[in-house]
Structure 1
Amino acid sequence: MPLTSITSGMGLEVAPDVYCFSVQIVNVVFLGNPKESNEFVLIDAGMPGAEEVIIGEAIKRFGENCKPLGIVLTHGHFDHVGALQELINKWDVPVYAHPLEQPYLNGKSDYPPPNPKAEGLVAKMSPLFPRHSIDIGSHLQLLNGDGSVPCLPNWRYLHTPGHTPGHISLFRDSDQFLIAGDAITTVEQESLYDVITQKQEMHGPPAYFTQDWEAAEQSVKKIEALQPEATITGHGLPMTGKELQSNLKILADNFRETEIPKNTNYNPM
């Protein structure tokens, strides 16, 4: 896909063990402290064809013999699982996801068509984006209902649906760090200019692929109530501190007015 932001290929250490890496228009996250171990956990799997840059960045950060303990998916959209099959072919590790995302990861169901009538040029382009399911077979491990993630003992997952039925975010209570996936974004993902330049501005999930706006609003309110100190979102630059908290409050308070497309009853042909 030719769509690429100016930050593509750049990495940012947001905490000693939390590293955000931009792959074209989406972020993947490496969890693990390279000063302590060459083991890590990968959050999401980037764009199709991104396996070599993701593997290369893992080696650059964790060393030649590094290998993840697992891959955790916030959801199964193409820009979050694009390199997944190639990565598990290389690393042969479990992939953790919410049970409601299972049909999109075992080949049973495709995601619904996007809404190209949402505002913004990227929304107009969205019918060109892949929405088919993938099948990762026995590598798929479903998360249980207690919020735990087997390969991340210091983190818990939050079910934050709306963008997809089984969307999750990750939260670490010790430092109030949030990995939000696409439940929130820090760029107006519908705007081609903003995506390319990575202009920082908090929004809800990408409108063209969001399935349930009532659930999406409740997920934003759930996230805002956590009062996170730092976040990495699926799209956009990391945000921290008072800026993050104030922007989250504005988003939660005004979600219906600013985020939900006017044509929420869009019915694709």
Structure 2
Amino acid sequence: MKNNYMPITSEISNTGLAVAPDVYMYTTQIANLYMLGNPAKHKDWIIVDTGMPGTLERVKHAMNQRFGSNIGPKAIILTHAHFDHVGNLHQLIKGWEEDVPVYAHTLELPHLTGEEDYPKADPGADKGLVAKMSPAFSREAVDISDHVHPLPEDGSIPFFPEWTWYHTPGHTKGHVSLFREKDRILLAGDAFVTVKQESLYKVMAQEPELSGPPKYLTENWSDAEASVKKLAGLDPETALTGHGRMMEGEDLRSRLRDLSDHFVEKAVPKKEKN
């Protein structure tokens, strides 16, 4: 994979946050992954996304700390397959008593079977330094053909029926977000994020700011807008995203409504508006 390691680290890198007894957020450099499962009740758990390349040892240490040594996840769920979400995918499939199945939307599968690379990043989408660096990011498809499966068509999450997945395209064709109705926790992936991901300073400082999907890798802005409106309609209490800090309560809802109502103005690159 091109550019396996990125010398960008945020101030919350290598830290974890128990959002709920069965929801744990772990930050790898500038990208978050999530462990779902309550270690106090049982050892079954799943992981949502796998973090940045080059962070495997710290990720496995966090997993072992939470669930016990060498107790692997029942499944890996991918919101999408960009490099910063599949950075440890190959290694986390294996190395346990049994190989771990991976689930993604059917439209994301070509990027997980080696068939289709992602489109080129657009460094002109924003003036921020991360946007300018984006052509160096890997866009190559990974090939886990023997382990990947389409998510169930009924919206359910394997092994964790309290959660529902929603198709939230725009950032990628097969992007999905996860939602749990009972406590209104939303795992939004990169459908929207809680940091201005194009800005190197804001990424490193993790300054909270509810933003649209990262501009430099978003494929379809009309779909992205529809996805933000769909997620705002869920009225989440807590939002956990692929990049940035947790947001919750009325602060989250007001910011998300504002983004939904003014998406073109706030999220879409200027050249896409013309």
- Identify whether the pair has TM-score above 0.5, normalized to the shorter chain: yes
**Residue 106 (structure 2) pairs with residue 99 (structure 1):** yes
2:75 and 2:214 map into 1 onto residues whose CA distance is 26
Q: Which amino acid aligns with 1:82?
A: G
- Partners of 2:264 and 2:273 within 8 A in 1: no
Residue 43 of structure 2 corresponds to which residue in structure 1? Answer: 38
Could you tell me how far 1:38 is from its partner in structure 2?
Answer: 2.2
1:4 and 1:228 map into 2 onto residues whose CA distance is 28
Which residues in structure 2 correspond to 1:154-173 (within 5 Å)? Answer: 154-173=162-181
Q: Which amino acid aligns with 1:108?
A: E
With over 3 angstroms needed to count, the CA separation of the structure-2 counterparts of 1:90 and 1:265, relative to structure 1, is: farther
Q: Secondary structure at the match of 1:141?
A: strand
Could you tell me how far 1:139 is from its partner in structure 2?
Answer: 0.7
- Partners of 2:212 and 2:259 within 8 A in 1: yes
- Partners of 1:162 and 1:183 within 8 A in 2: yes
Could you tell me how far 1:264 is from its partner in structure 2?
Answer: 2.3
Q: What whole-Å deviation, never above 9, does each CA across 1:229-248 have from its counterpart, x for those lacking one?
A: 11110000011111111110
Q: Which amino acid aligns with 2:169?
A: P
Could you tell me how far 1:204 is from its partner in structure 2?
Answer: 0.7
Q: Which amino acid aligns with 2:108?
A: E
Q: Secondary structure at the match of 2:124?
A: coil
Q: Which amino acid aligns with 1:263?
A: K
TM-score by length of 1: 0.97
Q: What whole-Å deviation, never above 9, does each CA across 1:119-146 have from its counterpart, x for those lacking one?
A: 1111000000000000012110111321
Contiguous gaps of at least 5 residues in structure 1: none
Which residues in structure 2 correspond to 1:241-260 (within 5 Å)? Answer: 241-260=249-268
- Partners of 1:171 and 1:179 within 8 A in 2: yes
- Partners of 1:38 and 1:65 within 8 A in 2: no
Contiguous gaps of at least 5 residues in structure 2: 1-5
Q: What whole-Å deviation, never above 9, does each CA across 1:104-127 have from its counterpart, x for those lacking one?
A: 000000000011001111100000
Q: Which amino acid aligns with 1:15?
A: A
**Residue 193 (structure 2) pairs with residue 223 (structure 1):** no
Q: Secondary structure at the match of 1:263?
A: helix
Q: Secondary structure at the match of 1:67?
A: coil
Residue 75 of structure 1 corresponds to which residue in structure 2? Answer: 80
2:33 and 2:18 map into 1 onto residues whose CA distance is 12
1:106 and 1:10 map into 2 onto residues whose CA distance is 31
Q: Secondary structure at the match of 1:27?
A: strand
Q: What whole-Å deviation, never above 9, does each CA across 1:61-96 have from its counterpart, x for those lacking one?
A: 111142101000000000000110011122311000
1:145 and 1:217 map into 2 onto residues whose CA distance is 23
Could you tell me how far 1:265 is from its partner in structure 2?
Answer: 8.4
Q: Secondary structure at the match of 2:73?
A: strand
**Residue 121 (structure 2) pairs with residue 117 (structure 1):** no
1:21 and 1:128 map into 2 onto residues whose CA distance is 25
Q: Which amino acid aligns with 1:198?
A: Q
Residue 185 of structure 1 corresponds to which residue in structure 2? Answer: 193
Structure 1's consecutive aligned runs of 4 or more residues displaced over 3 angstroms after TM superposition are none
Q: Identity over aligned residues, as a percent?
A: 53
1:152 and 1:38 map into 2 onto residues whose CA distance is 13
- Partners of 1:17 and 1:33 within 8 A in 2: yes
Q: Which amino acid aligns with 1:69?
A: K
Residue 3 of structure 2 corresponds to which residue in structure 1? Answer: none
Residue 200 of structure 1 corresponds to which residue in structure 2? Answer: 208
**Residue 70 (structure 2) pairs with residue 47 (structure 1):** no
Residue 23 of structure 1 corresponds to which residue in structure 2? Answer: 28
- Of 205, 219, 233, which residue of structure 2 is paired with 1:211? 219
2:43 and 2:156 map into 1 onto residues whose CA distance is 23
Residue 85 of structure 1 corresponds to which residue in structure 2? Answer: 90
2:156 and 2:30 map into 1 onto residues whose CA distance is 29
1:207 and 1:215 map into 2 onto residues whose CA distance is 13
Q: Which amino acid aligns with 1:112?
A: P
TM-score by length of 2: 0.95
Could you tell me how far 1:39 is from its partner in structure 2?
Answer: 2.2
1:260 and 1:152 map into 2 onto residues whose CA distance is 34
Residue 269 of structure 2 corresponds to which residue in structure 1? Answer: 261
